[in-house]
Amino acid sequence: MHSSAQLKRTIALSLIAGASIAGLALSAGSLRAQVHPDAKTGKQIAEKLCVGCHIVGAEAAGAAVPADVPSFTTIANKPGQTAQAIAGAIVIPHPPMPQIELTREEIGDVAEYILTLRTTP
């Protein structure tokens, strides 16, 4: 015979099990979202739309650009830089930069690409 204390414990345990299954499903979902951004597509977009002002590739480190425009390598190497923060900076219009029509996916791709230029751990 179950005492009511035992029964409560059983219910609590199955609730915890249920919650962790839900947690697992959630983290699998965000993992998929992280796998999706494609740095290769991002590079193509950046080479088309951003080179006018930014030094895009790592290889062009010595190239001349307008003095106050950070290179993508510089952006990538900001302390604590993340793809999310870069994506946020792309979404916020920065004055000389024309309003560039990018989808959320394209912004994610470009941010992912910029982060590949990071050389500091």
Enumerate binding residues for ligand HEC (CB under 6 A). Answer: 46, 49-50, 52-54, 68-70, 75, 86, 89-90, 94, 96-98, 100, 110
Residue nearer to ligand HEC on the CB measure, 59 or 68: 68
Q: For residues 66, 78, 120 and 68, what is the CA-based torsion angle, rounded to 10 degrees?
A: 10
Buried b (16+ CB within 10 A) or exposed e, 63-75: eeeeeebebbbeb
**In the complex, what is the shortest distance from the CB of residue 49 to ligand HEC, in angstroms, rounded to a whole number?**
4
Closest contact distance (angstroms) between CB of 11 and ligand HEC is: 50
**Cβ proximity to ligand HEC, 15 vs 47, nearer residue:** 47
Residue number, 66 or 121, with CB nearest to ligand HEC: 66
Cα dist from 89 to 8, 54, 72, 101, 110, whole Å? 50, 14, 12, 14, 11
Cα radius of gyration rounded to whole Å, the chain: 22
Shortest CB 89 distance to ligand HEC, Å? 4
Cβ-in-10-Å burial (0-12, 13-18, 19+) of 76 comes to buried
Nearer to ligand HEC among residue 34 and residue 115 (C-beta): 115
Residue 67 CB, nearest approach to ligand HEC (Å):
10
